[in-house]
Amino acid sequence: MPQYGELFLLVSPKGKRSLRRLLEGQDIHGTDGVIPAHALAEVDFGVEVKTLQGKPYRILKPTLYDLVRGVKRQTQIIYPKDIGYICMRLGVGNGARVIEAGSGSGSLTVALSWFSGERGHVYTYEARQEFYDLCRRNLEWAGVGHNVTQHLRDVKDGFAQTDADALFLDVRTPWDYLPQVAAAVKPGAALAFLVPTVDQVSLLLKGMENGPFDEQEVEEILVRGWKPVADRLRPNDRMIAHTGFLVFARKQERSREFEDLKPLGTRERKQQKALRERLGLEEIG
């Protein structure tokens, strides 16, 4: 059952969902009537409670998905469909030390704190005071953030950490910050970048050609829901399509010996030749 001070999800018969905090003596008022606070504190999650006018509402325990979608925002947030994949690709789990820049409204920060657990830690960087403050408020609202250190700092000046396990970068020109990224993480660390346009992806990939980076991958995640009607199953009319390109890589020192042993087809040889010309390197035999 919800405890006083705890968030809960209130679902109306019309399907409206809202995150509320249960506070002693503060009843829930709505168009269908009043739900007394003491009535909410006396029922388990997953049951229905009625307003004083007899209208039923469902009480659910919020998931991380609900919390991420419910943060107060002044910036474009990162969507749950991207957050889950980012956390998996970065290996975020209990004990992981993860860097994030910038914090923005804190949707990803909430998830990183959740997944990093008691033994992990999140270092989040934000250059603007208003977003720094908003991120902190959202962490406190969501009931996480005990394992988060906030930095009010432009990452062009570098990161305070030098041995992070993973790093996520969401800035306008990430290729300008690659030296700072490489200096902040361990060898082999997983890296992720979010950019909205193909031009930015190309510039980022070219920027990584000169640094200790390898295993680059570019992906986007599209989510299409289906109408859950058993005898008329069909896709929804709308979907969450492109929200950004995800670029993944590893911090990895590269050697000519390793590169020369990679099996290459005709297309790959042409691409390698073009790369070596851009970097001013001697062509292989």
User: Where residue 27 sits, what CATH number does that domain have?
Assistant: 3.10.330.20
Does 143 share its domain with 41? no
CA proximity to 206, closest of 116, 267, 275:
275
pLDDT at 284 over 60: no
| pLDDT recorded at residue 91 | 98
Task: Decide if 140 is inside a domain.
Answer: yes
Q: Do 69 and 42 fall within a single domain?
A: no
Confidence of residue 44 (pLDDT cuts 50, 70, 90): very high
1 belongs to a structural domain:
no
Pair (176, 207) in one structural domain:
yes
For residue 54, the model assigns a pLDDT of 96
Whether 221 maps to a domain, the answer reads yes
Q: Is the pTM of this model over 0.85?
A: yes
Q: Are residues 225 and 155 in the same domain?
A: yes
Same domain membership, residue 226 and residue 136: yes
User: Which percentage of the chain shows pLDDT scores above 70?
Assistant: 98
User: Are residues 285 and 210 located together in one domain of the fold?
Assistant: no
If asked whether residues 77 and 181 sit together in one domain, one would say: yes
pLDDT at 277: 76
User: Residues 109, 132: contact at Cβ < 8 Å?
Assistant: no
- The mean per-residue pLDDT over the stretch 93-118 comes to 97
Domain boundary residue, one of 39, 62, 85: 62
Domain of residue 182, CATH code: 3.40.50.150
**Structural domain contains residue 276:** yes
Could you tell me which residue, 280 or 193, shows the higher pLDDT? Answer: 193
What radius of gyration, in Å, describes the C-alpha atoms of the chain? 23
Is 283 contained in some domain?
A: yes
Q: Between the CA of residue 123 and those of 12, 118, 128, 150, 240, what are the distances in Å?
A: 38, 14, 16, 6, 29
Structural domain count, the chain: 3
Question: What is the percentage of the chain residues whose pLDDT exceeds 90?
Answer: 86
Domain boundary among 20, 47, 62: 62
Shared-domain flag, residues 141 and 27: no
Q: Provide the Cα torsion 6, 12, 18, 22; round to 10°.
A: -20
pLDDT greater than 80 at residue 285: no
Whether the CB-CB separation of 121 and 147 falls below 8 Å is answered with yes
What is the pLDDT at residue 274? 77
Decide if 245 is inside a domain.
yes
* Domain region containing 285: 255-285
- pLDDT per position as a tens digit, 190-224: 999 999 999 999 999 999 998 899 999 999 999 99
pLDDT mean across residues, the chain = 93
130 and 21 in a common domain: no
pLDDT at residue 76 in the model: 82
Mean pLDDT on 103-107: 96
Q: What is the rounded average pLDDT of the residues 141-160?
A: 97
In this predicted structure, the answer to whether residue 282 has a pLDDT above a threshold of 70 is no
CB atoms under 10 Å from CB of 225, counted, come to 11
Per the listing, tokens 């390109």 go with: 245
272 and 171 housed in the same domain: no
Over residues 215-254, the pLDDT tens digits come to 999 999 999 999 999 999 999 999 988 999 999 999 999 8
Residue 225 lies in a domain: yes
* Residues 128-146 pLDDT 10s: 999 999 999 999 999 999 9
pLDDT of 281 > 70? The answer is: no
Residue 2 lies in a domain: no
Q: Give the pLDDT score at 257.
A: 85
Question: What is the SS3 assignment for the chain?
Answer: CCCCCCEEEEECCCCCEEEEECCCCCCEEECCEEECHHHHHCCCCCEEEECCCCCEEEEECCCHHHHHHHCCCCCCCCCHHHHHHHHHHHCCCCCCEEEEECCCCCHHHHHHHHHHCCCCEEEEEECCHHHHHHHHHHHHHHCCCCCEEEEECCHHHCCCCCCEEEEEECCCCHHHHHHHHHHHEEEEEEEEEEECCHHHHHHHHHHHCCCCEEEEEEECCCECCEECCHHHCEECCCCECCCCEEEEEEECCCCHHHHHCCCCCHHHHHHHHHHHHHHCCCCCC
Does one domain contain both 137 and 263?
A: no
Same domain, 250 and 273: no
**pLDDT at residue 283, rounded to an integer:** 46
